[in-house]
Amino acid sequence: MTTIAFIGLGNMGNPMAANLVKAGYAVHGFDLVPENLVIAREHGVVIMANAVAAVKDADAVITMLPAGKHVLSVYADIAAKAKKGALFIDSSTIDVESARKAHATAAKHGLLTIDAPVSGGTGGAAAGTLTFMAGGSKDAFAKAEPILKPMAGRIVHCGDDGAGQAAKICNNMILGISMIGVAEAFVLAEKLGLSHQALFDVASTSSGQCWSLTTYCPVPGPVPTSPANNGYKPGFAAALMLKDLKLSQEAAQSVGAATPLGAEAAQLYALFNAQGDAGADFSGIINFLRGDPA
C-alpha cells in the first residue's frame, strides 16, 4: 500500500487527507494543533509524533502549511529523513522564491518535488474537487498526478519549479481586482437608482461578465449561493485574499512587473482587513466601498 505523509492538517489539509484515506492510501499525519489531530484521527489518518516520524515510511509527502517560512522550516527538518525516492508535494500557497528554495532543498537529497497549490477552498477540499496548479519536472508531475486525483477536480501542469505558485497568485490577483470592479459597479448602480437585479441581468450576459459577478456576486439576491446571502461568511476570507495579493505584489516587485491595479487591490484589502473584517468573505469589500460600518 502506498503511504502518504500529510503535514499541516488545518482547514484544508484535514479534508484533503480524509479523501486520500477514502481512496485507500495509508496516511500518516502531523500538525502542531492537537484539536486538528483529533479530527484527522476520526478521518482515519494515523497520527505521528512529529513531521520526521510522519515522513519516515512515506512514499509521498504532502505539506499544507500557512506560508513559505513554515514550508522551508519543515522541509529542512524532513528532507534528509525521507525515504529514498520519495515525492514531495507542497500544496500550501506560498511565495515563488520560497517554493523554488523548497524544491532545491529536497533536490539536494535526491527527492522529486512539485509545488501544487490549490483553488476551490474548504468546500472543494471536502468534495475532492480542488484545482491543482503544479510546478516541477515532467517526472515529478507524472508521479504526483495519481496521488492528487482523489482530492482534485482538475490538475494542470503549469511548468517548472514554482510555476504552480506563479499561476495561483496571478489567478488570485485577477480575482481580487475583478471583485473590487464588480463591487464598485454595484455601488455606483445603487447611487444611480439601478436595481441589483437589473445590473446583474445586463452585466452577466454582457462584456462585464466574470466569475466575481456570476458565481460570487457581492450583493444578495442574484446568485443565491454567494456569501452575500449568508452575511458574508467565508467562503474565502479577506485575510487570505490579502495574503495572496501581497504575494502577487512581492513577486511583481522581484521581477519588475507593473501591476498597478494589483497594488491598489492589495491596499484596499489591507484597509478592509484593518477595519476588523479579516474573517469576512472577501466579497464583503462592497460594504467597505459603500462606506458601511464594519
Positions annotated as catalytic residues are: 168
Matching residue, cell 511583481:
252
What is the closest distance, in whole angstroms, from the C-beta atom of residue 57 to ligand NAD in the complex? 18
Residue at 171: amino acid letter: N
Task: Give the residue with the Cβ less far from ligand NAD, 11 or 204.
Answer: 11
Task: Give the residue with the Cβ less far from ligand NAD, 64 or 203.
Answer: 64
What is the closest distance, in whole angstroms, from the C-beta atom of residue 277 to ligand NAD in the complex? 16
Q: Which residues pair with 47 in a beta bridge?
A: 29
Which residue is nearest to ligand NAD, using beta carbons? 10
Task: Give the residue with the Cβ less far from ligand NAD, 59 or 90.
Answer: 90
End-to-end CA separation in angstroms for the chain: 51
Cell of 293: 460600518
- Which residues would be at the binding site for ligand NAD (CB under 6 A)? 7-13, 30-33, 36, 51, 64-66, 70, 74, 92-93, 118-119, 121-122, 236, 240, 243
What is the closest distance, in whole angstroms, from the C-beta atom of residue 221 to ligand NAD in the complex? 24
Of 155, 146, 169, residue with least CA distance to 116: 155
Task: Give the residue with the Cβ less far from ligand NAD, 140 or 175.
Answer: 175
Q: Are 71 and 94 in contact (CB under 8 A)?
A: yes
Scored b (16 or more CB within 10 A) or e, 63-83 reads bbbeebebbbebbeebbeebb
Backbone torsion region of residue 70, taken as left when φ is above 0, otherwise alpha when ψ lies between -120 and 50, otherwise beta: alpha
What is the closest distance, in whole angstroms, from the C-beta atom of residue 262 to ligand NAD in the complex? 17
Distance CA 270, CA 2 (A): 43
